[in-house]
Amino acid sequence: MHPVLRYMTESADDMTSLLGALVEMESPSTDKHATDALSRHLEILFRGLGCRTSLVPQTECGDHLRIEWGSADEQLLVLCHMDTVWPLGEVKKRPFRVEDGRAYGPGVFDMKAGIVNTFFALKYLTERELSLNKKIVIVMNTDEETGSRTSTPLITEEARRSTHALVLEPPEKGAVKTARKGGGGFRIEITGKPAHAGGEPEKGLNAIVEMAHQVLALHAMNDFTTGTTVNVGVVTGGTRSNVVPASSVANVDFRAVTRAEAEALVEKVLGLKTVMPGTTMKITGGIGKYPMERTESIVECYLKAKQLAAELGFDLKESSTGGCSDGNLTASLGVTTLDGLGAVGDGGHAESEYVLVESMPKRAALLARLLETL
């Protein structure tokens, strides 16, 4: 057995214990007090490894945490997020538990197991007193699940200083992610003219009818052969059934595989025109995160990880996904990015969320080896 895997295997109980503690410390994206408590707890844990840490204060969400280990001119960037999609109190309904080799609890898979693996990878490097040719910078943000709006400047700054970015998001059935769709959204506002629906309907301009034209136009932009998708997810409008609606609003999500496709779609949407004379339309929004495209450097990094995994006794596959992560951001900056390095499990954002406990030592060992050798 490889020394790093032996170390992680012997630490398996401690890893599970820490995972339980982090799950019990709930951290909804929208609860600053709760996420602040977790960020401070993690700061103390990593300081115990001799890391240099700093909190990045926020007003709209929890404070982000920056962690630095080692010293060198070049750096490796590790990305984790502390926030979850679950509201405060969810853990009372579904407390952390381990059953039949699976660890359950809100946020266990997405992505507190990734934080645990990061901690133990660094713990291994610290206890072995290994000297790396690059320093390690870890950014743990508190707003990934809501789009990383406040943490993007921090991630961007660190990414531009880094040769690689390793993202501890959950894998896809064990496979790391070498490509992710990019995406964004639009808000479409239609203004018509109100009128009495029974007495003088001809004097009105029905904003909902105009919105229906736009919804059909947006739906026609779906191209499943290229992977470009457009979804009108929310539509509102009107006040009463006997009033011709003067306004309607739609919220639209879109995804694309390449930067070129994403930019072309934005141009199409912004170029939409009203169909009914007299109505007006306002469109806001655009690209939130550019795609993480499967570049040569990403493939090279994946093949290295695959080789390291084989040395640790398991096969590492690759995959792509339609979901976005902070890996989209680093990859779009040209930084070689490997995503989905977290623990194996399933059910992200679902009550069935779980992590395979036996996968955690293997994935932590892989992360440690990547940090050693990149």
212 with 351, same domain: the answer is no
111 with 254, same domain: the answer is no
Tokens encoding 349:
């954002």
116 with 131, same domain: the answer is yes
Match 């409008």 to its residue by tokens.
237
**What pTM value is reported for the model?**
0.92
- Choosing from 245, 266, 289, the residue where a domain stops is 289
Tokens encoding 208:
């909902």
Identify the sign of the CA torsion 87, 182, 366, 47: negative
The whole-number pLDDT of residue 130 equals 86
The whole-number pLDDT of residue 177 equals 98
The whole-number pLDDT of residue 12 equals 98
Give every CB contact of residue 366 below 8 A, 6+ residues apart in sequence. Answer: 305, 308, 309, 312, 316, 341
Q: What is the CATH number of the domain that holds 190?
A: 3.30.70.360
Q: Which domain holds residue 83?
A: 3-180+291-373
29 with 145, same domain: the answer is yes
97 with 158, same domain: the answer is yes
79 with 124, same domain: the answer is yes
- Choosing from 254, 274, 289, the residue where a domain stops is 289
162 with 305, same domain: the answer is yes
49 with 168, same domain: the answer is yes
| Burial environment of residue 257 by CB neighbours within 10 A (0 to 12, 13 to 18, 19 or more) | buried
Partnered with residue 223 across adjacent β-strands are 228
**Rounded to the nearest 10 degrees, how much is the dihedral formed by the CA atoms of 323, 327, 332, 333?**
160
> pLDDT in tens for each of the 374 residues of the chain?
999 999 999 999 999 999 999 999 999 999 999 999 999 999 999 999 999 999 999 999 999 999 999 999 999 999 999 999 999 999 999 999 999 999 999 999 999 999 999 999 999 999 999 889 999 999 999 999 999 999 999 999 999 999 999 999 999 999 999 999 999 999 999 999 999 999 999 999 999 999 999 999 999 999 999 999 999 999 999 999 999 999 999 999 999 999 999 999 999 999 999 999 999 999 999 999 999 999 999 999 999 999 999 999 999 999 999 999 999 999 999 999 999 999 999 999 999 999 999 999 999 999 999 999 99
Number of domains, the chain: 2
188 with 100, same domain: the answer is no
307 with 199, same domain: the answer is no
306 with 263, same domain: the answer is no
219 with 231, same domain: the answer is yes
- Choosing from 263, 289, 315, the residue where a domain stops is 289
The whole-number pLDDT of residue 131 equals 84
